Structure 1
Amino acid sequence: MDSSSQSHCSFPLPDTMPVMVLGDCYLFPGCLLPLFIFEERYRLMLAHALKTDRMFCIGTRVKNDSGGYDLLPVSTAGLIRACKKQEDGTSHVMLQGVRRIQLNSWQQEKPFVIANVQPLETIIETESAYINELKDRSLDLLPDAASCAGDSMRNLRAALHKIECPELVCDILSYHFVRRSTTQRSLLMEPCLEKRYDILLSELERVQEDA
């Protein structure tokens, strides 16, 4: 494959999407993020999303060099898989990441943010055999089954080996096994799948050495 080859991911997206701003929160495609919605602006955001396409994204707030905060220009479009509203007006939401997106501009800032968005395509630069090798190497670096939940870890590794999409496996491992926010940020923002795996492998090797 050449550098213009891209992921097969084609989940349809709207042109605009509500944004829930959170500090150091990273959602990846294929993963589930539980949220508790209690602020009034996000209650309004949730109601808007449920009435339209059931989608919103996380706007990750990070500190900038001047001491203030910026939003990352990259996020993951999230689909509301479950929503339970409480008597006090708060809600428990399960948000499923479906596809990386670029936040281009703001269509609305109050009472909640709505961004103009576009899909962020994944670039794949090498043959699938090499990508699958990176996938297998990453799975081999998962915590030893004897040291964490035994059968559960073995079952997880087996299930991930069966997933044919190496991009999805990389995202699942990034979400569940990477703890440093700076590394999660790099993994979310990197468009090249091989480079994502390089970042992931370095982090998993570091964790294994520290164990």
Structure 2
Amino acid sequence: MLEHALQRDRMFSVTLIKPSCPEWRAPEDFFHFATIGLIRACVDRGDGTSNLVLQGLHRVRFASFQQETPFPIARIDIVESTKTATVESEALGEKILELYRKLKRAERQLPPKVDRYLAQLGDLEMLADLVASTFVDDPLRRQRMLEESSLNQRLRLLITYLQDEIGSAAV
């Protein structure tokens, strides 16, 4: 699969297998919302695995499948957010930054450049994606956020999940 992507457009997508399936056999076994990324770097480890640097590009939905074996190849639709920047959006973003600071103090050490980046980040969609991928441990919760089209609802979900993570870190 990786070789196929590297020989073509360097695009790669990974999605979550549904909890009811121990392993995938057909497209129905995995979630159809994912992210697509551009392979920026690939280093072969010599044991049949590779280290990748992926640049996330878009949230996508698998529309249909051109191929299922030996690995799926999908036609995709880009998933756009329904985002209307409102006073509520800004307030939700501020709450996420507040919770981020609490999580950092509780247990997670991140480089100072992450603080600077988040402080300057004006795109609430990117803020939600970055903080969720870093601090939300439950893959089904991350999947729920990925599938949510409303930016404000994604921000609200993230706040709930971060509050749960803070509660877990305190135990």
Q: TM-score, normalised by structure 1?
A: 0.69
Cα distance in 2 for residues equivalent to 1:145 and 1:116: 39
Cα distance in 2 for residues equivalent to 1:105 and 1:77: 15
Root-mean-square deviation (CA, aligned residues, Å) is 2.4
Q: Classify 1:79/1:166 alpha carbon distance in 2 versus 1 (closer, same or farther; 3 Å).
A: same
Q: TM-score, normalised by structure 2?
A: 0.83
Q: Specify which structure has the higher proportion of helix.
A: 2
How much does 1:92 deviate?
A: 2.0
Q: Classify 1:130/1:157 alpha carbon distance in 2 versus 1 (closer, same or farther; 3 Å).
A: farther
Ranges in structure 2 where 5+ consecutive residues have no aligned partner: none
How much does 1:89 deviate?
A: 4.9
Does the 8 Å contact 1:59/1:72 carry over to 2?
A: yes
Cα distance in 1 for residues equivalent to 2:149 and 2:163: 22
How much does 1:48 deviate?
A: 1.7
The residue aligned with 2:80 is 121
**One of 29, 34, 55 as aligned partner of 2:11:** 55
How much does 1:194 deviate?
A: 0.5
Cα distance in 2 for residues equivalent to 1:115 and 1:102: 9
> Where in structure 2 are the equivalents of 1:67-146 lying within 5 Å?
70-87=29-46, 89-124=48-83, 126-142=84-100, 143=102, 145-146=104-105
Q: Classify 1:108/1:136 alpha carbon distance in 2 versus 1 (closer, same or farther; 3 Å).
A: same
Does the 8 Å contact 1:54/1:79 carry over to 2?
A: yes
Q: Deviations over 1:98-148 (max 9, x none)?
A: 100010111011222101111011111x43433222111101012355444
- Ranked by relative contact order (alpha carbons within 8 Å, sequence separation 6 or more), the top structure is 1
Equivalent position SS for 2:35: strand
Cα distance in 1 for residues equivalent to 2:125 and 2:18: 25
Q: Classify 1:51/1:202 alpha carbon distance in 2 versus 1 (closer, same or farther; 3 Å).
A: same
Does the 8 Å contact 1:136/1:161 carry over to 2?
A: no
Ranges in structure 1 where 5+ consecutive residues have no aligned partner: 1-44
Could you list the structure 1 runs, at least 4 aligned residues long, displaced by more than 6 angstroms after superposition.
none
The share of aligned pairs that are identical, in percent, is 30
